[in-house]
Structure 1
Amino acid sequence: MLKLEFDTDEGIGTRANLGMIVLETDETLESEFARMADLDGVARYHSRIPMVSEIRADTLARMLDDMPASAKLFPSSLSFDVIGYGCTSASTVIGSDKVAAAIQSVRPEAKVTDPLAALIAAGTSLGVKNLGFITPYIPDVSLKMREKLEHAGFTITAGGSFEEGDDRVVARISERAIHDAALRVAKTADTPCDALVIACTNLRCLNVIPRLEAELGIPVLSSNTALVWHMLRLAGITDERPKICRLFGTQLST
């Protein structure tokens, strides 16, 4: 057996190393993350976090205790530029500051974002104010998220929810149903929407958004598009890819 010589290089993340903490129950985010962050030199890594299928405030809050362990499972040999926590409803219930603190307790070098923080950053960068708002959540969770968006300075001019408490069912809501719900909510707005927000990382929105933007003439933001866009921009990746959605043709406001 020959002893072979070798050299080493920087690895695949020559531009950025991105980590995504995905819910145990999520079936959508990993696939959409891969499509949106498919860029040369951008490395993508996933970890999972325990989560029961019932989406309630108490089950969402439990994830805070598991975040450090999930973040610790990313390769220890790497320095991460950004770590995203992939749960919109839990970010709303727990709070973005606590999410960041939990992850940075084991990954202090990484910037941290989550869908709620990313949606706020996206709306600010797009310069929008009046939002149409769609969730799959039960009413109390939807209300908490609406309050967080309003506290951030946005006005919800129309809203709707599928009111589904089982994350396994949320992952099966069809693209057609999401499309039709978005049109219905936008058309019922008291004041015309500047943008439409579709919350939840388990909703399959990526294929629907370009069509909705063409039909409505406004930006359409999903939890996943906002989260991945925010991660890329926080990592200093400024590539504009407006074919994904209008947001991906936008830079991060400072």
Structure 2
Amino acid sequence: MPAESATDALAMLRSAHDHLLRPAHVGVLVPWGNTMVETELPRLGLDHVVFHYARLVPAHRYRDADDFLAEIAAAVPDTLQQFARLTLAGALVACTSTGFLNPDAYQNTAVVDAFDALQILLRDLAASTIVLATPYPARHTQIQAARLQEAGFDVAGHASLDLALLDDFTAVAPERITALVHSIDVRQRTRADAVVLSCTAWPTIDAIALVQQELGIPVVSSNLALAYSAVRFARAAET
């Protein structure tokens, strides 16, 4: 997509938000060790969205990442009860990995998870071909790429920092994220309509601006996608 025709995902979020008529309340279920969701969502300036947070605490402190994520996903229905006395426009699960690794875990609950939110935002951006960058283990990045392909997106290329899933992702600098995107073959990047920075636990807001300026195509992150879904909840509540 030529740079001049690219849609700025942040600008689209703010435009949708600015059309809200009144404040809306949205619940956010955050994995217990994740500090970035509550750091990044307020930076997006969504004055008409009031976020209420609850922690997803696994029943056991597994060392195996897959078991840990399964426990996080299993905690969703009970954790939602913390919002039982609130009038919410909607509820979000602030974890991307549970969405593509445990897609059926909370299928019967009225939530949108970060993996769903990414797809919603990409479709509204009319982005059909993407490149994917993650901090995840390479195996999990490959699984996510396959799941996105199954959902109808052409994943032209992907790259990962190959960090262990229980590592602390918060210290990843924007420049390191930019370098990760540039590690994807240039022929794959030039095919893409958008860049996806997956994971709610690494800091992406500053990286979004850097990558979008350099590549001239929309850049979306898991936290940006959560914010967009929160605004969609708010707009739906007004109808």
Scaled by the length of structure 1, what TM-score is found?
0.77
CA shift, 1:200, in A, is 0.5
> 1:44 matched to which residue of 2?
51
CA shift, 1:100, in A, is 4.7
1:26 and 1:232 map into 2 onto residues whose CA distance is 22
The answer to whether the Cα contact below 8 Å between 1:100 and 1:113 also exists between their aligned partners in 2 is: no
Gaps in structure 1 of 5+ consecutive residues: 1-13, 105-111, 239-254
1:188 and 1:31 map into 2 onto residues whose CA distance is 34
The SS at the match of 2:26 is: strand
2:41 and 2:107 map into 1 onto residues whose CA distance is 20
CA shift, 1:178, in A, is 0.8
Q: 1:56 aligns with which of 15, 40, 65?
A: 65
CA shift, 1:50, in A, is 1.6
Structure 2 residue identity aligned to 1:72: Q
Taking a change above 3 Å as real, the CA distance of residues 211 and 19 of structure 1, as seen in their structure-2 partners, is same
Structure 1 residue identity aligned to 2:52: Y
CA shift, 1:55, in A, is 6.8
1:186 and 1:230 map into 2 onto residues whose CA distance is 31
1:237 and 1:209 map into 2 onto residues whose CA distance is 27
The alignment yields a C-alpha RMSD, in angstroms, of 2.4
Structure 2 residue identity aligned to 1:236: R
Structure 2 residue identity aligned to 1:174: A
Aligned pairs for 1:104-183 within 5 A: 104=110, 112-183=111-182
Structure 2 residue identity aligned to 1:50: V
1:135 and 1:98 map into 2 onto residues whose CA distance is 22
The answer to whether the Cα contact below 8 Å between 1:134 and 1:182 also exists between their aligned partners in 2 is: yes
2:80 and 2:42 map into 1 onto residues whose CA distance is 19
Bigger helix fraction? 2
1:27 and 1:188 map into 2 onto residues whose CA distance is 35
The answer to whether the Cα contact below 8 Å between 1:37 and 1:228 also exists between their aligned partners in 2 is: no
The answer to whether the Cα contact below 8 Å between 1:132 and 1:158 also exists between their aligned partners in 2 is: yes
CA shift, 1:227, in A, is 1.4
> 1:81 matched to which residue of 2?
89
The answer to whether the Cα contact below 8 Å between 2:27 and 2:92 also exists between their aligned partners in 1 is: yes
> 1:71 matched to which residue of 2?
80
User: Which of 1 and 2 has greater Rg?
Assistant: 1
1:199 matched to 2:187: no
The one-character-per-residue Cα deviations of 1:115-170 (angstroms, maximum 9, x if unpaired) are 11111111111111111111111233222211111011111111101111144432
Gaps in structure 2 of 5+ consecutive residues: 1-21
Q: What is the identity percentage for the equivalent residue pairs of Structure 1 and Structure 2?
A: 24
Taking a change above 3 Å as real, the CA distance of residues 205 and 216 of structure 1, as seen in their structure-2 partners, is same
Taking a change above 3 Å as real, the CA distance of residues 218 and 78 of structure 1, as seen in their structure-2 partners, is same
CA shift, 1:78, in A, is 1.6
How many residue pairs match? The answer is 215
